[in-house]
Amino acid sequence: MRASLRNFAVLFLLALVLFLTGQNGFFLGVDNTFKEWRFSGHQVPASGQLVFVDIDARSLQEIGQWPWPRTIYADVLDKLIENDAADVAFDIDFSNTSTAENDLAFANALERAGGFTYLAALQQLGFNTNGDPILITNKPLDIFYAHSDLALVNVEPDKDGQVWMFSKYGIVDGDIVPSLPTIFAPKEHEKNNNSYFIDFSIDLGSIDRISIIDLLNGQVDRTRIEGKKVVIGASSLDLGDTLDVPHYGRIPGPLVQLMAAETRLQGRELQQINVLAPWFLIVPLIFFVARFRRIRFLPLAFLLGGFSVGVEFFAFILQSQFCQIIDVFWVHLSALSVFIYMQFYAMDMQKILVRQVSGQNVRMQTILDRIISDNFDGVVIIDSSRKILAASAPAEKMLSMRDHLVGASCGVLPERLFQEVNQAFADAATRVVPIIAPIYVLNKDENGDPSLVIEYSVTVSSVSRVDGQRSKGATEYVACLTFRDITHRHNHQKRMDFLANHDPLTGAFTRSRLEEELGNFVTSEDGGENGLTVVLLDLDRFKNVNETLGHAAGDGVLIEVANRLAQSGLYSVARLGADRFAGAYPGVMSTIEISKLLEKIIANVTEPYALDGHRALIGVSIGATDTENSGFSPNVLISQADMALSEAKEIPGNSFFLFKCELNDRIHERQRVEMALLDAVGHDQLYLQYQPQVDLADGECVGAEALVRWLHPELGRVSPDRFISVAEDSGMIIEIGRWVLVKACIDAMAWPKPYKVAVNVSAVQFEYGDVVGAIRHALEVSGLPVERLDIEITESVFVTKQDRFIQTLDEIVDMGVGVALDDFGTGYSSLSYLSRLPVDKVKIDQSFVRNLPDDEQSMAIVQSVLSLSSAMNKTVVAEGIETADQAWVLRLAGCGIGQGYLFGRPQSNEEFCRYLERADIPDFLNKSSA
């Protein structure tokens, strides 16, 4: 806005200066020329009322002498009167006397004309004898003046020497005398001003000219004179009465009078319009231009040219149609100066802009150079001629091209990047940069491992030229190649990928990767399915290695196992748990073939391991299944191999087990039992039975073992062999165990004598439950004296976390509760460690009792248990005594207590109470006595 105001002020001043200059007449000549052009552009025919009777060269020649005798003028006047001319004016100097006779003749003619004649009076500037300017008036002689009127024929050339204007009146001897044109074109209402512009657009040639000689000779048609106003004067150049006028140049003085008279007759007196009028045009113009100062060269030229033409046209119309004269040259000059000024202004602005833009460019360039060179990433800028324009320091470092990149061809880039840049230029118009940058291994070390990995992207952009214009025609592009060193991230990612699929210790696959591998094996290329055998292995005694030789040795064994499995021909060896492995054999095999392979694995894995001077021996159990049995789902294959493994583990020593469909049935059965068991506790489906335990010496009952029973509405009686293991696996045994303890203690309180009650406690209760708390709770709730309670545990309690459980047992023993080791001889038991266990009773498993007394091996075992136990001061209970022989033999061998159908089956508490009432001595005592 400020610039607009300034421009307006400047342009206004310019126009004002030009206006004032014009007012001082500086442009008079040009303005006059314009006026003349306008005259020539519009011709007006003469009215036809005026006639010029011409003293032309021919008349001079034919009459012969000069000055003419005044009789000739008398004749001319007579002729005109004769032809009924309306008015006659002589533009001839009659101020001097000629001959008296001739003067009289002319005076008489004037008299005859009867007062319709006018004689010229001319006023001119002259100088007196002192040299002072004086007005000299040439009047006709009085003799002529008496019969006619005066007509002023003064002419006043303008500064340019041309006659433009005419006066209406003059003052002669104190009287107002009209000029000749005023006389010939009288008006009722004259305007105030005395002078007016002659309209030179009136066609001079259309004013009728009659040569005097033709008139005198009677050769002029009467109609040319009749009723006309006639001016008689000289046109012959020889007489020198000529004047400079606009448009026509030099013309005879009488014709100037006639032109002036015609002008009046036609009402075409020209008036100078108000000099301020053009401001109404020029002010809006400069306002517009100043306001919209950014108009370009051509539009501005057209605007101002159009303005000038318009102004000139306007002036022309004013002059030709409305008889108004206007000087507009200063207006044209103003338009021109507006144009020139605006051009300078624009150039100046352009220069400033260019300077600003180039300044900005330099600044931007510096910033960009800085950004690129200091960039953390590799940045390389390439133009469309494939020249490298800029490069960051990391780019040069990563590409090992310090100081060689800038200015070089992009062919120096590694082939892959070079191709990408070329492709980017080829796709410039449509290119979309992918969100994920591609990864490329730039360098490898001597092992062929990646030593420099980059991720990169290439973008292309169209660029502007320095002048800020977008390049037209062929678009110019630059490519920006950005890349960064992701070696560390890449290696980390590779490691993560590896860990996701591999066991970090052995390098074997993980379970998910194994499933993937199995999926690949079973899917054949033609879309069909391939046969496959899946093998699961569980190491035995591996814990011993860890505990005795340390974890490093254990790790060594695991690594070696994985290797041996692979060497045995097992594919996709995977580690599924601490000491659990798996693998597969692709292809369909017979059971015999599978068995052979598994035996080979067992042989390999159980070979002794040499560890830092130590030897370790481990065992293995293997479960396997194949697609024939388990179908093609990797998941199912693995889980059924797992079932088979569970079976294999039940088999003592190194063994394998091939999955059978019955296993599945068993699993389903277990699941059914497990579901039903969930309800059992809350719905009173569980109850207890008591089996008596008697002193083998006298057959006296000393107590009873509480045995849990389950009566399910649909399943019927479910034996503990079926549901106890399920309860253990699901953890429900903890809740069941607490209930059994409480119930047994309460029942025992109702017995008629203070016998002992023995309650079975599972290893799971030791590991996951609070056994001590449960016992304490049962004793509290029932009020049973602590010495009446025994708990029976199996050796499985000591398989894991031996020390912790022994501690727990110590607590129980310290409370005063008796502890019996149940099913002795079936598990891992070794007589040697029996001494370390805080148990006061050992229950010989019924499998040894069953074959007594005939089986010598059983007898030997029973005897050794009995002798060792007595040495350790532990009471021995024999389970499963069904016959009097068995009881008798055991009694002889020194077994203290017996339990079995011989003495009583498990029975309800009421039955047991009744049983206690009986006092008959059992059979075996009689036998012994026999």
Where does this chain bind ligand C2E (CB under 6 A)? Answer: 691, 707-708, 719-721, 724, 740, 760-762, 792, 822-823, 846, 879-882, 899-901, 906
Q: Coil, helix or strand for 106?
A: helix
Residue with smaller CB distance to ligand C2E, 49 or 691:
691
- DSSP category for residue 543: H
Residue with smaller CB distance to ligand C2E, 549 or 902:
902
CB 785 to ligand C2E: min, Å: 21
693 belongs to the binding site for Mg ion (CB under 5 A): no
Residue with smaller CB distance to ligand C2E, 796 or 870:
796
H/E stretch holding 580? strand 580-586
As a whole number of angstroms, the distance between CA 824 and CA 822 comes to 5
As a whole number of angstroms, the distance between CA 531 and CA 750 comes to 65
Residue with smaller CB distance to ligand C2E, 330 or 690:
690
Phi, psi values for residue 771, rounded to 5°: -65, -45
CB 861 to Mg ion: min, Å: 15
Phi, psi values for residue 461, rounded to 5°: -140, 145
Residue with smaller CB distance to Mg ion, 210 or 834:
834
Q: Could you give the residue ranges of the DSSP H alpha helices within 616-719? A: 627-630, 634-650, 661-680
CB 530 to ligand C2E: min, Å: 46
CB 812 to ligand C2E: min, Å: 15
* 776 Cβ contact partners less than 8 Å away, ≥ 6 residues apart: 815
CB 737 to ligand C2E: min, Å: 6
Among 56, 214, 515, 822, binds Mg ion (CB under 5 A): 822
Q: How many CB atoms lie within 10 A of CB 59?
A: 23
> Locate tokens 């406690």: which residue?
761
DSSP output for 117-170: EEEEEEEEEEE-TTS-EEEEEE---HHHHTTSEEEE------TTS---EEESEE
| Contact between residue 241 and residue 253 where contact means Cβ atoms under 8 Å apart | yes
Residue with smaller CB distance to Mg ion, 262 or 823:
823
Q: Coil, helix or strand for 632?
A: coil
As a whole number of angstroms, the distance between CA 144 and CA 107 comes to 5
**Which of the choices Mg ion, ligand C2E, none does residue 707 contact, using the CB cut-off of 5 to 8 A by kind?**
ligand C2E
Nearest to 782 by CA among 737, 745, 740, 739: 745
**Which of the choices ligand C2E, Mg ion, none does residue 762 contact, using the CB cut-off of 5 to 8 A by kind?**
ligand C2E
Pairing of strands 149-152, 165-167: unpaired
CB 535 to ligand C2E: min, Å: 33
Pairing of strands 117-127, 133-138: antiparallel
CB 734 to ligand C2E: min, Å: 10
CB 773 to ligand C2E: min, Å: 17
For residues 12-33, one letter each, b for 16 or more C-beta atoms within 10 angstroms of the residue's C-beta and e for the rest, the string is bebbeebbeebeeeebeeebbe
Residue type, 346: A
Question: What part of residues 871-890 is at the interface with Mg ion (CB under 5 A)?
Answer: 879
CB 693 to ligand C2E: min, Å: 10
As a whole number of angstroms, the distance between CA 540 and CA 485 comes to 49
Residue with smaller CB distance to ligand C2E, 117 or 846:
846
823 belongs to the binding site for Mg ion (CB under 5 A): yes
Residue with smaller CB distance to ligand C2E, 486 or 844:
844
DSSP output for 856-892: HHHHHHHHHHHHHHHHTT-EEEE----SHHHHHHHHH
Residue with smaller CB distance to Mg ion, 74 or 706:
706
* 605 Cβ contact partners less than 8 Å away, ≥ 6 residues apart: 537, 539, 561, 564, 565, 568, 618, 620
**Which of the choices ligand C2E, Mg ion, none does residue 825 contact, using the CB cut-off of 5 to 8 A by kind?**
none
Please identify, among the stretches 368-376, 511-519, 787-795, 909-917, the one whose residues bind Mg ion according to the rule CB under 5 A: 787-795
CB 808 to ligand C2E: min, Å: 16
**Which of the choices ligand C2E, Mg ion, none does residue 554 contact, using the CB cut-off of 5 to 8 A by kind?**
none
Residue with smaller CB distance to ligand C2E, 676 or 820:
820
Residue with smaller CB distance to ligand C2E, 484 or 874:
874
Q: Cα dihedral sign for 111, 117, 122, 123?
A: positive
Residue with smaller CB distance to ligand C2E, 479 or 759:
759
Question: What part of residues 472-501 is at the interface with Mg ion (CB under 5 A)?
Answer: none
CB 827 to ligand C2E: min, Å: 12
CB 893 to ligand C2E: min, Å: 18
Residue with smaller CB distance to Mg ion, 522 or 757:
757
* Torsion on CA atoms 362, 368, 374, 377, rounded to nearest 10: -160
**Which of the choices Mg ion, ligand C2E, none does residue 515 contact, using the CB cut-off of 5 to 8 A by kind?**
none
CB 757 to Mg ion: min, Å: 12
CB 909 to Mg ion: min, Å: 17
Q: Coil, helix or strand for 245?
A: strand
As a whole number of angstroms, the distance between CA 301 and CA 31 comes to 22
**Which of the choices ligand C2E, Mg ion, none does residue 447 contact, using the CB cut-off of 5 to 8 A by kind?**
none
Q: How many residues bind Mg ion (CB under 5 A)?
A: 5
CB 880 to ligand C2E: min, Å: 4
* Torsion on CA atoms 729, 735, 739, 744, rounded to nearest 10: 40
Please identify, among the stretches 624-632, 742-750, 818-826, 832-840, the one whose residues bind Mg ion according to the rule CB under 5 A: 818-826
Angle, vertex CA 723, rays to CA 719 and CA 729, nearest 5? 160
Q: Is 284 exposed, middle or buried (0-12, 13-18, 19+ CB in 10 A)?
A: exposed
CB 881 to ligand C2E: min, Å: 6
Residue with smaller CB distance to Mg ion, 315 or 744:
744
**Which of the choices ligand C2E, Mg ion, none does residue 621 contact, using the CB cut-off of 5 to 8 A by kind?**
none
**Which of the choices ligand C2E, Mg ion, none does residue 175 contact, using the CB cut-off of 5 to 8 A by kind?**
none
Question: What part of residues 748-777 is at the interface with Mg ion (CB under 5 A)?
Answer: 760
Question: What part of residues 297-316 is at the interface with Mg ion (CB under 5 A)?
Answer: none
Contacts 24+ apart (CB under 8 A), 781-784: 781/742, 781/745, 781/746, 782/742, 782/745, 782/746, 782/748, 782/749, 783/749, 784/745, 784/746, 784/748, 784/749, 784/757
790 belongs to the binding site for Mg ion (CB under 5 A): no
**Which of the choices ligand C2E, Mg ion, none does residue 691 contact, using the CB cut-off of 5 to 8 A by kind?**
ligand C2E
| Contact between residue 623 and residue 641 where contact means Cβ atoms under 8 Å apart | yes
Residue with smaller CB distance to ligand C2E, 253 or 703:
703
Residue with smaller CB distance to ligand C2E, 163 or 724:
724
Among 54, 485, 503, 792, binds Mg ion (CB under 5 A): 792
Q: How far is CA 596 from CA 521, 601, 603, 641, 924, in A?
A: 21, 9, 10, 17, 53
**Which of the choices ligand C2E, Mg ion, none does residue 269 contact, using the CB cut-off of 5 to 8 A by kind?**
none
Report the interface residues with Mg ion, using CB under 5 A: 760, 792, 822-823, 879
